[in-house]
Amino acid sequence: MTHTNAIPAGIRNPDDCAPEALTLEQARERILDDVHPLREETSVPLMDALGRVTARDIPSPIAVPGHDNAAMDGYALATEDLCSDGPTAMTLAGTALAGAPFTGTRPPGSCVRIMTGAVLPPDCDAVVMQERVHREAGGAVRIPPGVRPGENVRRAGEDLQPGQMLLPAGERIDGPRLGLLASAGITRVTVLRRPRVALFSTGDELAPPDRPLAPGQIHDSNGPALRGLLTALGVEILDLGRVSDTPGALEEALDQAGARADLVITTGGVSVGEADHVRRVLDRVGRVAFWKVAVKPGKPLAFGRVGDAVFFGLPGNPVSAMVTFCQLVQPALLRLMGVSHPAPPAGFQVPCATRLHKRPGRLEFQRGRLERAPDGRLRVRAMDHQGSGVLRSMREADCFIVLSPEGGTLEAGDLVEVQPFRGVMP
Ligand code: AMP
Ligand code: MG
C-alpha cells in the first residue's frame, strides 16, 4: 500500500494532512535508513537461542532424515516382488520399529512389518499402509495390486542435504527454527548481541501502579505495556521508570539512557503542550527531528539520536504509543537486532461487520476483533471505543483495522485490511 501526501477532498481538520506530515511508509523508510544492525557476535547454547538472530549462515552438517524411512505404519517390501495383475501373498520376515531397525535377512517375496519413522529395510522400496493389507490365517499377508515404488517412503536427506542452508544469517530464531537446528544436531548457535533498550515515561501526572493516586494523577501504563512488547521481542531492557516534566530530570534521564543503551524509547511530552520540554532538552543532548506522521492514532513522534543511541519519542496516549511502537519502533528494533528483512506487519483483507466511521486524511489504525459471520466467513468488528487513550480497546481487540488515508466512512460488508497482533509463534 502506498500513501501520498496529497490533501484529499473533504478534509475537515487541516491538521490531519498537514503538508509537512510524513506518510507512515516515509517515516519507516527514513527510520530504517538510519538504523544499522549491531555487529557483535556471541555463541550461545541452542536452548538460549530463542528470539536471537543468526550472525552467520548455518549449513546442515548432516542429512535429515539420515535414512530412508516409513511415512506410515504398514508393510515394507520390494515392488519387484509383486504380481502385476492381482494381489500378492507374502510372508512376514520381521519387524522394523522407529529406533529399532530390522536387522534380519528378508527372503525374496517376503515383507517386513514397519512403523512410521522406522528405517526402511535394505532392498525395500515401498511401504503399503496397513489399512490396505489383508492379514491371512497363518501369518501371511495379502498385498493389493498397484503399489508404486517410493510409496509412503521418506527419502534420506529429503528435509535437509548435508551442507544445505539450514538458517541464513539475519533470521530470528523461533520455535520451529529451534527444532530445525536441533534436527541437524546443532548444539550452539552464533548470534548477534541483543540490543539494550532504555525506556522511560514522561509526565508529572504519572504514578507507579503500587502508589495510590493523588488528585489528577494516573498510573503509568505505557511503561509496563512497552516493557511487555520489548520482552516479547527478546531485547535487554533498561527501565528508567517515570521522569517528571522538568528539563533537569529529563536531561539527566536522557543522558543516562543514551550512554547505556543502543535504543531509547520515551513516551509523552513530544507534542506542543506547555510541559513538553523533551523537545528543548533533546536539542541539547542529541539530534532529534520532530515528525508529524499522518497516522491516527500516532502523531506526533520524535526520532533521532541521543548520544550514539537511536531515539524514539512516542506520544503519551497509550494507544498511540502502542500503534507507533508496532508500526515504527518494532521494525527499527528488528533491523538493530540484525534481522535482514524486517517486514512491516502482515495484513489481509476481510469485510467489516458494521459501519466504520472515518474522516479522510490520515492512515488509521482502528482496533478490531476478527469473528465469524453466520455463513462461517471471517469478518472484523471494530471496538466501540476508538479513543487514543482507551487502552481497554487493545485488550478487547486482536487486530488493527488499517484504513487508507483517502478513504472515508465504510459500510458493513466493505473490505478492509486487518493486521492481526495476537501472534501464536514467538
Ligand atoms: P502527552 O503526550 O505527554 O501530552 O500525553 C498525552 C496523554 O497521554 C495525556 O492524557 C497523558 O496523561 C497520557 N499519558 C502520557 N504518558 C502516559 C503513560 N505513561 N501512561 C498512561 N498515560 C499517559
Ligand atoms: Mg505529558
**Domain CATH for 79:** 2.170.190.11
Domain identity same for 201 and 276:
yes
Residue 343: CB atoms within 10 Å: 8
Domain identity same for 320 and 199:
yes
Is 343 part of any domain?
A: no
Q: Which of 202, 204, 218 to mutate to test the pocket of ligand 1 (most atoms within 8 A of CB)?
A: 218
Q: Which of 200, 206, 244 to mutate to test the pocket of ligand 1 (most atoms within 8 A of CB)?
A: 206
What CATH number does the domain containing 58 carry?
3.90.105.10
Q: For the CA atoms of the chain, what is the radius of gyration?
A: 30
Domain identity same for 56 and 137:
no
Residue 135's domain comprises 69-154
Does 265 sit in the ligand 1 pocket, CB within 6 Å?
Answer: no
Domain identity same for 188 and 203:
no
Domain identity same for 179 and 248:
no
Is 3 part of any domain?
A: no
Q: Quote the ligand 1 centre to 214 CA distance (angstroms).
A: 16
Q: How far is CA 216 from CA 213, 219, 250, 318, 392, in A?
A: 8, 10, 21, 17, 20
Is 29 part of any domain?
A: yes
Residues 400 and 95: their CA atoms lie apart, in Å, by 55
The string of pLDDT tens digits covering residues 17-37 is 456 789 999 999 999 999 999
Q: Is the dihedral of CA 77, 80, 86, 88 positive or negative?
A: negative
Q: Which atom of ligand 1 is nearest to the CA of 273?
A: 4
Mind listing the pLDDT tens digit of every residue in the chain (426 residues)? 334 434 334 334 444 445 678 999 999 999 999 999 999 999 999 999 999 999 999 999 999 999 999 999 999 999 999 998 999 999 999 999 999 999 999 999 999 999 999 999 999 999 999 999 999 888 899 999 999 999 999 999 999 999 999 999 999 999 999 999 999 999 999 999 999 999 999 999 999 999 999 999 999 999 999 999 999 999 999 999 999 989 999 999 999 999 999 999 999 988 776 666 777 888 889 998 888 899 999 878 999 999 999 999 999 999 999 999 999 999 999 999 999 877 767 899 999 999 999 999 999 999 999 999 999 999 999 999 999 989 999 999 999 999 999 999 999 999 999 999 865 444
Does 388 sit in the ligand 1 pocket, CB within 6 Å?
Answer: no
Is 415 exposed, middle or buried, given 0-12, 13-18 or 19+ CB atoms closer than 10 A? exposed
Number of structural domains in the chain:
4
Domain identity same for 263 and 365:
no
Model pTM score: 0.88
Q: How far is CA 270 from CA 27, 207, 275, 304, 333, in A?
A: 16, 19, 9, 13, 21
Say if residues 295 and 15 touch (Cβ distance below 8 Å).
Answer: no
Domain identity same for 290 and 387:
no
Is 342 part of any domain?
A: no
Domain identity same for 78 and 132:
yes
Domain identity same for 168 and 213:
no
Is 73 part of any domain?
A: yes
